[in-house]
Structures are given as structure tokens and as C-alpha cells.
Copies of this chain bind each other. A is one copy, B any other.
Amino acid sequence: MQLITHADALAARETLTRQLGTAGPVRTPLLPVPESERDRPLLLKPESLQPIGAFKIRGALHATATLDERTRSRGIVAYSSGNHARAVAYAGRAFDIPTTVVVPRTAPETKVAAARALGAEVVLVEVAEREARAERIAAETGATLIPPFDSPAVIAGQATVGLEIAEDLRSREVPAATVLVPISGGGLISGVGAALAGADARIRLIGVEPLLAADTREGLRAGHRVDWPVAERTRTRADGLTAQPSELTFEHIRTFVDDVVTVTEEEIGEAVGHLATTCGLVAEPSGAVTTAAHRHRSAELPTGTTVAVVSGGNIDSERLISSLAG
């Protein structure tokens, strides 16, 4: 199986810059948290500050950018629990092409409204039907399906997060850091792993899952993918972390990821509150799992500089209030 490489990540960044310029992803900084422990200083990578509030914009824009112009003009379609839908809607607007997103009825209203506001047609379906419906739309209209993670072009787009982390760690002269990345379908951690491995072999990469959706940790220990029932995986409040790796992303994870740690629902909620009150960042639960791991799983993590990727910030105000109220 062909894995994404550091060179693919560099090429993806070049494509994004050439085709989109400053309409592409924001180059997010690493934000030091002065309140973090001295033996484990924390740097946040706030992908929650991307125009659509999540890293997903990188993969969606890159996958759309790599289509030939004629194919692209027929439009794009996606299925997603939320942020990928919004990212594809953003990509559709950026390239001015017809865009349809298939969203489960259970997705937070914020995410659905945002995709609509970006001009996409939104189709609401049951969770189990979303993939089939998106494929049917693609077949009927000639639009291209942009997968949420099971795609080399999408993974290469997410890999640009890893390029930036490696560069910023180098300028801080802390090459042997630990990087924490949430795992759901595994597109983000696959790309980040490929980029980091090619940039500096001393950087450790650790995945983070909710304890209630820890299929990847179990799969890595078993040596093969394991399947958790949807009803189990969707118990977590981290609604963006309920997918499971594909063969492609699982192979990346097996190759590039040093370990996976899990966090509880209470720890995720506490981290959402901490990020808001101490770090100035609104994170959705899925985006806060890495900060939760740094705060509550330090015994399972290496000491030294730690980077927590805050992957998204799209949270309804009611849920943010409840995390703030503790």
C-alpha cells in the first residue's frame, strides 16, 4: 500500500498556495501556554481558527484543487458528521462550483447552518445512509465525491498541518517534542505522521481517542482494524471522533503513530473549559481531547515539549456554557 510522504505534503502545500493564495488554509501559529508545567510545556496548534473552524478545510481544498478543471466544474459532494461538510462547502465556494453535502440528522445545528451559509446544498439523512446517498448524488450529477479521510489527496492536505508543526518546532529549537493528534477516521493523524516522519524522526506522534470511541487503540494492539458498533462509538460527546480508520489510514497510523491514549468524557469537558478560560480558544469536544490528554494523562506521555493539535472549534453555545460552568 502506497503511503503519503513528506514530499506529498510539500506538494500539497505548493498546490494550495498556487491555486488559492490567501484564500487557502490559514497558517496557524503554535501558541505557548505559560500556565503549563515546566517539564511538559504545552504548545497549541489551533486549527479551530481556520475559516471553517477546523483542519478539514486543508484536505477538502487540496482534494478539490487536484481535480482537473473539467471534472471540477461538475461539482463536488461529501458526506460528513459536520466539519468535513463545512470544509467541502467552503471549497465549493472557493472554486465557485456546485456543492452538495450529505449530513446526518444528528449533527449539531451550527455545523449544518454553516454549510448552508457557504452556499452548499445540504441533504439531511440517517447516519447509516450518508455514504450511499452521497455516492448516488455523485453518480447522478457527475460531481466528484470528496471523502472525509479515505483519500490520498485529502490526507496530503491534512499533512500540511504536520509541515507547519515541524517547521515551528525547529525554529523553537525543540525538535524532540511529542505531538498529540485526535483520531477518528485517521486522515489528520495520517497526514501529520507522514509530514513529521520526513521532517524529523525524533518527534513522537501520539493519537488521542475518547475512551468511548477507542477502536483505533484496540486495533493497534490487535494488529488489525477492529469494528465498534456505531451505537457504541457515538456515545462520546466528541461528535467529530466517531468514525473509524479505513485500510489506508490504518496503515498510516500503524507506520507513523507511536502510541494512542484515551480520555474520559469528564476530562474532555474540563479541557473545553480550560481552553476557553486560560488559552482564549473555543474548542469543540473533539478538538479538546489532545489538551485533555496533556492535562490528565501525563503519566502515559513523555516529558518535554508537547504540541496539542486543537482540531476544531465548532460547538453550540449551550454545550460551551455547560463546559464553562463545569
Pair A29/B32 contact, Cβ less than 8 Å: no
- Interface residues in A248-277 by Cβ distance below 8 A to B read 273, 276-277
- B26 touching A29, Cβ below 8 Å: yes
Chain A 271-292 per-residue mask, 1 if CB under 8 angstroms from chain B, else 0: 0010011011111000000000
Q: What is the total number of copies of this protein in its complex?
A: 2
Contact mask for chain A residues 309-325; partner B; CB cutoff 8 A; 1 contact, 0 none? 00001011100110011
Q: Are B280 and A53 in contact (CB under 8 A)?
A: yes
Binds B, one of A44-52, A229-237, A296-304: A44-52
Do A320 and B26 touch across chains, with their CB atoms under 8 A apart? Answer: no
Give A273 to B90 CA distance when docked, in angstroms.
23
A70 beta carbon closer than 8 Å to chain B: no
Decide: A34 near B22, CB < 8 A? Known: A29-B29, A324-B320, A324-B321: no
Known: A31-B26, A32-B26. A317 touches B282 (CB 8 A): no
A5 to B173 alpha-carbon distance, docked (Å): 33
Query: Which parts of A30-58 form the interface with B (CB within 8 Å)?
Result: 31-35, 46, 48-49, 51-53
- Interface 0/1 of A16-28, CB less than 8 Å to B: 0000011000111
User: A34, B48: Cβ atoms under 8 Å?
Assistant: no
Report which A residues bind B (CB closer than 8 A): 21-22, 26-29, 31-35, 46, 48-49, 51-53, 90, 93, 110, 114, 117-118, 171-173, 273, 276-277, 279-283, 313, 315-317, 320-321, 324-325
Q: Which 9 A-B pairs have the closest CB atoms?
A: A280-B313, A48-B280, A317-B324, A22-B172, A280-B282, A34-B51, A277-B317, A276-B282, A32-B51
